[in-house]
Amino acid sequence: MQVYGRPVANSPPGHFPSNTSSSTSILSTHIPYQILGKTLNSSDCRVVYVARNPKDTLISLWHFENAMYLGQKSEPQPLENIVSNLCEGTVVFGPYFEHVLGYQKESLERSDKFFFITYEELKSNPITHVKRLAEFLGCPFVGEDMETQVEEVVRSCSIETLKNHEVNKSSDVPSWSMVPYDAFFRKGQVGDHMNYLIKDMIKRIDAIMRMKFHGINLWGENWM
């Protein structure tokens, strides 16, 4: 949004906060592979895809969208609605399960170009996976203080550190978004859906997970 949307507040005319002349630009997107594939395949870029358990993703999305609706002085949407949307494939950025499978398939066929990992893996062993990510991106950690470097990256990128930056505690709404800064970092906990979803909702989502992810072990034995 900041690259192709409106400029940030108080920036010079025509200015966007990206260095378009750099060959190492980073772009974050939610666009599914089914739409972005031709562009990715025609470039030399490397893709890092993080998949999160759909039940936790659903709760995160519910809070995020409610922050947007409340900013427009609307009532928060019922949780039942977004559960139905997830199961029917009508959530923002397209059907969730197909979204995950699109990038997961490419990572198996082209592991040099696509780095696929689950959020739960990152949370369980960040040191190991940050090292893997650095290797994939072609900038491995080196030197006698390598372990210290890795630990600093993990600390700096932790949910605790990010949510405590002053900008991320602000209720201001940036010019390029419809939600306040403090809506971008909430809990980041694995299994938070257990605090919100009732048994019937979980059973409905789990049934679709079994069908869509049949034979694919993304979240181990404890994914339900």
Residue 13 falls inside a structural domain? no
For residue 77, the enclosing domain spans 2-7+22-213
pTM comes to 0.85
pLDDT band at 22 (very low <50, low <70, confident <90, very high): low
Please name the residue that has the structure tokens 């966007």.
Answer: 16
The answer as to whether 38 is a domain residue is yes
The yes-or-no verdict on residue 71 having pLDDT over 90 is no
Q: Is 224 contained in some domain?
A: no
Position 58 in a domain: yes
- pLDDT single digits (tens) 177-206: 788 888 899 999 999 999 999 999 999 999
pLDDT over 60 (residue 120): yes
Angle at 79 between CA 215 and CA 73, to 5 degrees: 135
Residue 215 pLDDT grade (very low, low, confident, very high; cuts 50, 70, 90): confident
Q: Check residue 99 and give its pLDDT.
A: 96
The reported pLDDT for the residue numbered 66 is 87
Which of the four pLDDT bands, split at 50, 70 and 90, describes residue 33?
A: very high
What average pLDDT does the chain have? 87
Q: Is 30 considered catalytic here?
A: yes
Closest CA to 3 of 23, 29, 24, 30: 29
Query: Residue 224: what pLDDT?
Result: 47
The whole-number pLDDT of residue 47 equals 96
Residue 12 placed within a domain: no
pLDDT of residue 92: 87
What is the secondary structure of 73-138 as a DSSP string?
Answer: T-PPPPHHHHHHHHHHT-STTS-HHHHHHHHHHHHHH-TTTEEEEEHHHHHH-HHHHHHHHHHHTT
What pLDDT shows up at residue 55? 96
Looking at residue 193, which CATH number applies to its domain?
3.40.50.300
What pLDDT was estimated at residue 9? Answer: 54
Q: How far apart are CA 157 and CA 154, in angstroms?
A: 5
| Total number of domains in the chain | 1
* Active-site position among 30, 63, 165, 193: 30
Of residues 224 and 113, the one with the higher pLDDT is 113
With pLDDT > 70 as the criterion, what percentage of the chain qualifies?
Answer: 85
Residue 201 inside a domain? The answer is: yes
**Quick one: pLDDT at residue 164?**
94
Per-residue pLDDT at 24 exceeds 90: no
Q: What is the pLDDT of residues 143-173, one digit of tens each?
A: 999 999 999 999 999 999 999 999 999 988 8
Q: Are 219 and 64 in contact (CB under 8 A)?
A: no
